[in-house]
Amino acid sequence: MPNLVRRLCLGTCTILFVIPAGGCEHSDTKQVRQRVARLVGTSPYAWDDDKPRKELLEQEGVACEGRHVVAWFSVAAAAKSPALAEPERRVIVDRLDRGVAAAKRFIGKPNWSFCDDSRVYFYFPDANFISHAPGGNTVYIPLWRIREDKAPWLHEAMHILLEADGEDWLAQPGEFAAARMPLWLQEGLADALAMEISAREGLAYYSPLIDVPAEKLDEFAASQVRSCPDSNRLLAYIGGRGKMPELFGERRVEYAVAFYAASASFVRFIAKQHGYPSLIEAVLKFDHEHEELERLMGESLISVKQSWLRAIAYQL
């Protein structure tokens, strides 16, 4: 039986302790184990690769705790770079903590919690995959992305903070979600809020798909929509229900940038006209998001969409 190794980073201190195989735990060690157990996030809809990556980090990684976040880092040296030093981890956690705290305030959920835990858990495995937030209170982002400050961490945190109470799109059968989920609103609002909060807090905003500053987003979105293989098909999903199938297959590269840019641009347009509170209230109305948004705006989404397309100089 191998020795059990745990590393815990609290404040500026890293604790490493080993429990001998077949040995008994000292009472202090038991307290630390209990502390580690309280630093574990919950992923109710985790992807297949999430569970082994999460378990490996919790067994061999290091957890750094902030007031609003807990971040798990791989401490083994990566293929092309050394392991993150403790001061580097602390800088990252402080940044995450600041952003998540600001996000909670901005969306009107200062007391947000999941299962009575008010922290968002970030897992940074040394692997290459698409950053994602599979529900609960956890976010998965490749270590290299957060290290190089090329991580959409605030976008993913917004998905966690904006989960509707009760029913959740992630919990729905695939066919139902594919037909009904307003993906443009889910993704566009996460990006728009990440841009807004980053600007207010002086944080660097990053998206792998929207590589332009906020002030150039509209022009970028119009250009990307024009250049995608089927502009009309893509636009049908902006302000419409359903998940565009091409975003989840081999043709993702042809449509993803245009879809995410257009979604964020449209959401920002609505926010300028009607404010973010209307969008936030609407996204929390599971399967009635569009109806709620139209009620709060006092006009139809079709009408607002036409105004947006004119505003970004896109010709139908």
Cβ burial of 20 (10 Å; 0-12, 13-18, 19+) is exposed
Q: What percent of the chain has pLDDT over 70?
A: 86
Based on the fold, state whether residues 142 and 275 are members of the same structural domain.
no
Based on the fold, state whether residues 298 and 258 are members of the same structural domain.
yes
Instruction: Work out whether strand 13-19 and strand 62-65 pair parallel, antiparallel, or are unpaired.
Output: unpaired
Domain end point (choices 128, 161, 194): 161
- Kindly indicate the confidence band of residue 41, based on its pLDDT and cuts at 50, 70 and 90: very high
Confidence check: pLDDT of 27 > 70: no
Separation of first and last alpha carbons in the chain: 67
- Kindly indicate the confidence band of residue 3, based on its pLDDT and cuts at 50, 70 and 90: very low
Based on the fold, state whether residues 178 and 30 are members of the same structural domain.
no
Based on the fold, state whether residues 12 and 147 are members of the same structural domain.
yes
Based on the fold, state whether residues 8 and 156 are members of the same structural domain.
yes
Residue type, 30: K
Sheet with 13-19: list strands edge to edge: 13-19, 4-10, 62-65, 69-73, 120-124, 138-140
Confidence check: pLDDT of 37 > 80: no
Encode pLDDT of 252-268 as tens digits. Answer: 999 999 999 999 999 99
Structure confidence at residue 166 (pLDDT)? 77
d(CA 239, CA 299): 13
Q: 70 is in which domain, residue-wise?
A: 4-161
Residue range 94-119: average pLDDT?
A: 96
Q: Is residue 169 part of a domain?
A: no
Based on the fold, state whether residues 47 and 89 are members of the same structural domain.
yes
Q: Is residue 168 part of a domain?
A: no
Global pTM reads 0.87
Encode pLDDT of 118-168 as tens digits. Answer: 999 999 999 999 999 999 999 999 999 999 999 999 999 999 999 977 788
Domain count, the chain: 2
Domain end point (choices 161, 184, 212): 161
d(CA 139, CA 155): 10
